[in-house]
Every structure is written in C-alpha cells, then in structure tokens.
C-alpha cells in the first residue's frame, strides 16, 4: 500500500487490520456483503464520533454529511488509482483482496 507522506504509518497499520478482518469475514460472506457491512460500520462509528465531538461544534448535520461524502469520494478515487494497475494486470502479483 502506498502511503501519503503526511499520514503516519500507524494509520495505514490500522487500515491493514480492518482489511485483514474484512478478508477473514469474506471467507464466509460474499465480498458485496462485507463491503456493505464495512460501509455501515463506518457510518455508524462516524455518527457516534460526530455526535460526541469536541471540535466543530457549530457543524450541522448537512455539513457533516457533505464532509464525510467528500472524504469518502476522495479516498475511493485515490484507491482506484492505486489499485487498478494491481488488479487489472495479470502479470503482477496481488490478485487477492487488498
């Protein structure tokens, strides 16, 4: 996984832990179901985080939704850019889940 120089390695280590868990669950459930449960879990945790925040107290629900939507969109696009060559080139290793 490539890393953004402004993001500490510990961030990516935690991401890898979630992906490892998702891959384990994926042995029992279809990937589409695992993906849906990850998105739901992220939404639920982010709501908990937003409701219990101690910063951006003036942010309303619509602003929060827009923020999370924008962040997810950027992350999704960045990962498409990074992973497309890996999963579309049959000569490269790494055809398993990320």
Q: What is the DSSP letter of 29?
A: S
Angle between helices 31-51 and 9-25 (to 10 degrees): 130
0.85 exceeded by the pTM?
no
pLDDT digits (tens, 9 = 90+) for 23-82: 999 999 999 999 999 999 999 999 999 999 999 999 999 999 999 999 999 999 999 999
pLDDT digits (tens, 9 = 90+) for 13-32: 999 999 999 999 999 999 99
Cβ pair 98, 1 in contact under 8 A: yes
């Amino acid at each position: 996984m490539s890393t953004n120089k402004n993001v500490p390695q510990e961030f990516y280590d935690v991401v890898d832990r979630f992906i490892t868990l998702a891959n384990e669950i994926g042995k029992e459930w279809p990937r589409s179901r695992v993906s849906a449960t990850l998105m739901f879990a992220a939404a639920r945790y982010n709501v908990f985080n937003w409701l219990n925040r101690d910063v951006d107290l003036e942010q309303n629900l619509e602003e929060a939704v827009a923020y999370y939507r924008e962040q997810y969109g950027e992350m999704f696009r960045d990962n498409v850019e990074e992973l497309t060559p890996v999963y579309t080139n049959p000569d490269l290793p790494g055809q398993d889940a990320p």
